[in-house]
Amino acid sequence: MSLAWYDRTLWRVIAYVPQRNLGLCQLSENEADSLAGRKLMDKLGPKPFAMPDEDLSEAVLHWPLFPAHWGASRFSDGQSYGLLYAALERETAIAEALHYYAEFFADAGIPLLSAPRQQRGLFTFRVEEMLADIRKAAKKQRQLMANDHVWCRVFGEYLASHLQSGWAYRSVRRENGSAIALMRSDHASAVQWMETIELGGG
C-alpha cells in the first residue's frame, strides 16, 4: 500500500434529487399550474439536475457521509463511518451503478432485462487529496475482489482507523477500472452534471 497525491476528476452516478430543485420537483400545489410549468420547462429545455451549487454539492459529495445516511458497502458496515464512492473513469462509474441496480432487483428474483428503466445522473467532481493506493494489494489479496464483503470491511475498518482521507482500489465491476472511497469531502469540489443514463431493461 502506498500514498499518492490525487488531483483529478472523478465520476459518480447518483439518483438523489433535492426537493428544492424546481426543475424536477413539484412546481406548485395546484396540479394544473404544476403541469403547465413543467411543459414550459420542457419547451425551454432545462438541463437535468440544474440546481444551486450548494444543493448539487450536497447531493453528489456530502450526502453519503452524513451519519444518518451511512450504509453498508464494500468497505464499511455502515455503523462506524460512511464512504463517498466514485470512479476514476466514466465507464467504471456506469459499470458500478449498473451492477448495484441489477443486484437490487436480483434479490427479488427479477433479471436486469426485466427491471424497470430508471434514470440516474452522471456527475464529475474534482478531488485534491492524499490517498492510499491499495490496487496492487488486490493482486495478492484476492479477498479484496470478492463479492462477499466481510474481509473487505475488516480491511476498510483498518484503513479508516489509520487514514484521514480515503483510498483508491481496483473496481470489481470493470476490468482495469479503478475507484475511490473517500472518508471526507472537504477537498472535493467543482461538481458538474455530465449526462443522464438509463438503467434497467423494462
- List, for residues 50-98, the tens digit of each pLDDT value: 555 667 788 889 989 999 889 899 999 999 999 999 999 999 999 999 8
Query: The C-alpha cell of 48 is what?
Result: 437535468
Q: What is the rounded radius of gyration, in angstroms, for the C-alpha atoms of the chain?
A: 18
Phi-psi bin for 176: left (phi > 0), alpha (psi -120 to 50), beta?
Answer: left
- List, for residues 2-46, the tens digit of each pLDDT value: 888 999 999 999 875 544 443 444 444 555 555 555 555 455 444
CATH of domain 2-16+52-199: 3.90.175
pTM of the model: 0.78
